[in-house]
Amino acid sequence: MDITKILEYQKLDSELFKLEKALRDNPNKKTASEMSNNAKVAQQRSVGLEKKAGELLAEVDTIKKQFQIQTDKMAQVMAKNVDAMSKEEVELMLSLKDKLFQNLNILDKNLTKLAENVNAVLADFNKTIKTYNLAKEKFTQSKAAYDKDVEAVEPKKVEFEKGLLKLEKGIDADLMEKYKKRRGDNLFPVLVPLKGGRSCGGCHMELPAAEVAKLRANGILSCEHCRRIIYYSED
């Protein structure tokens, strides 16, 4: 089998492969992907914090209501006429007053603690929103830079593809199909020479003698290990 044409094809294709690889490894693309992810994480966090803030504010409401109830009770106790009470009744009233006072103190402490929590959640929320905005901004920048990089290599890409299409016409259809299948899986180079008369030029695995004989007879052989197409070479 004459493989001169497909080797020529592969040579030009290697230029296209390099170009595609450079785009895959493009730093702007990587940054855009990272920033997109950061923005997503920050957004999820902000939703969680919003929910938390809502729960804390509901707790504040509950405590304020309890505080009002205790204050009203205290007012009732204070309004009573002590002169008309027996000694036992006065003592009972004083103990009730102490208890109400304690309750109010506890509620006040809880409220202070809650307020601190609310403030912490709000500060975290603001910080998260800043992170989100920054990530979004960096994403937009790096995405634009990447798009520009893609655009810059587009004419070269089109030129390579046109050249390949022209070369394809002189190549055996079956061989071309095999080539394209491997190339589609990012296996490159697809065609490799036989090395030292017995090894795959791609993965360096040694071939059984029978396989080498088959390769000599057919001119090409598919490597069982790396799937590359080995062609006969005296090297």
C-alpha torsion sign, points 185, 187, 191, 194 = negative
Span interacting with Zn ion, options 52-60, 81-89, 140-148, 194-202, rule CB under 5 A: 194-202
Q: Report CA-CA distances (Å) from 157 to 7, 29, 135, 144.
A: 19, 18, 31, 19
Of residues 93 and 226, the one with the C-beta less far from Zn ion? 226
Q: How far is the CB of 25 from Zn ion (least distance, A)?
A: 24
Residue 135 binds Zn ion (CB under 5 A): no
| Nearest distance, CB of residue 154 and Zn ion, angstroms | 34
- For Zn ion, which is the closer residue by CB, 10 or 142? 10
Position 225 contacts Zn ion (CB under 5 A)? yes
Q: Which stretch binds Zn ion (CB under 5 A): 30-38, 48-56, 109-117, 219-227?
A: 219-227
Helix (H, G, I), strand (E, B) or coil at 26: coil
Stretch that binds Zn ion, among 39-47, 69-77, 143-151, 195-203 (CB under 5 A): 195-203
> Minimal distance in Å, beta carbon 221 to Zn ion?
10
Looking at the DSSP bridge assignments, the partners of residue 192 are 230
* Minimum distance from residue 177 beta carbon to Zn ion (Å): 19
Strand partners, 155: none
* Residue from 179, 202, 221, 232 binding Zn ion (CB under 5 A): 202
- CB neighbour list of residue 20: distance below 8 Å, 6 or more residues apart: none
How many Cβ atoms sit within 10 Å of the Cβ of residue 122? 14
* Neighbouring C-alpha atoms within 13 Å toward the C-beta of 158: 6
Please tell me what DSSP assigns to residue 186.
T
Q: Is 226 in the site for Zn ion (CB under 5 A)?
A: yes
Question: Does residue 60 touch Zn ion according to CB under 5 A?
Answer: no
Distances from the Cα of 83 to the Cα of 73, 90, 94, angstroms: 20, 9, 14
Residue 92 or residue 205: which is nearer to Zn ion going by CB?
205
- Return the range that interacts with Zn ion (CB under 5 A); candidates 11-19, 70-78, 147-155, 203-211: 203-211
Nearer to Zn ion, 107 or 189 (CB): 189
Would you give the DSSP letter of residue 223? -
Q: Which stretch binds Zn ion (CB under 5 A): 14-22, 44-52, 117-125, 193-201?
A: 193-201
Strands 229-231 and 191-195: parallel
Identify the bridge partners of residue 231 per DSSP, sorted by sequence position: 193, 220
Note the residues at the interface with Zn ion (CB under 5 A).
Answer: 200, 202-203, 223, 225-226, 228
